[in-house]
Amino acid sequence: MVKTATTFGALLAALIWLISAVSQWGLSRAIWLSLPASGTKCVSEEIQNNVVVLADYYVITDDHSAHEPTIAVKVTSPYGNTLHEKGNMTHGQFAFTTREAGNYLACFWLDDIKERGDVSVNLDWRTGIAAKDWESVARKEKIEGVELELMKLEGAVDAIHENLLYLKSREAEMRTISEKTNTRVALFSVMSLGICITVSVLQLLYLKRYFQRKKLI
């Protein structure tokens, strides 16, 4: 009995670690950007509706002089709505809840066009359960240890389930578009064939009349 309980505990711990690792891999990422002296660098992610997004960004420089390069940042929704826009920043944060599904774009560029050389920017981009403050949840719900890990696991499972439903709906949309495209291509092919046959028949009739007038046939 003790052996069974130990085995179950080990399997549960392994399952928690596996699902948490998979969910964190897909929902939290650190990105390094090298901004040129002129130009813009952008990152984008396809996110479904009603998802919390939290990101921290800061300039990385090896120059410890008084002058520290500053950057500007702009975050836009799939429909072009501005969700965050700041200038003259060395570090900052933005957070929002998605209202529409699609590609969300975050663009960075240097404020000072006289800045020489590339400037590195670190972006910590988190979505879904990775953006959730679990410490605050634990204090509010007065839970800790295994119970907290189980709550994280439940959140990870819900996030994965919602993502699968989103992917399924996107697959259905793409299938519908593909079927409509195939139907239009088939219709266009039939119309093209009909036009070719009609033109060929008209050419034959014209040539027949021409040769008859010339008394060649």
The Cα 216–Cα 114 span in angstroms is 83
Q: Which among 99, 61, 57 has a CA at the least distance from the CA of 74?
A: 57
pTM above 0.75, yes or no: no
In the chain, where the domains are located: 28-132, 143-217
Tokens of 211: 């040769």
Tokens of 8: 């179950």
The Cα 74–Cα 76 span in angstroms is 7
Report in angstroms the alpha-carbon separations of 115 from 37, 39, 107, 118, 150.
6, 12, 18, 8, 49
Tens-digit pLDDT string for the chain (217 aa): 544 545 555 555 555 555 555 444 445 678 899 988 888 999 999 888 888 899 999 998 766 555 778 999 999 999 999 999 999 999 999 999 999 989 999 999 998 766 666 789 999 998 887 777 667 767 777 777 777 777 778 877 887 888 888 889 889 999 999 999 999 999 999 999 999 999 999 999 998 888 888 777 6
- 89 - beta bridge partners? 71
CATH 2.60.120.380 fits 28-132, yes or no: yes
The Cα 104–Cα 44 span in angstroms is 5
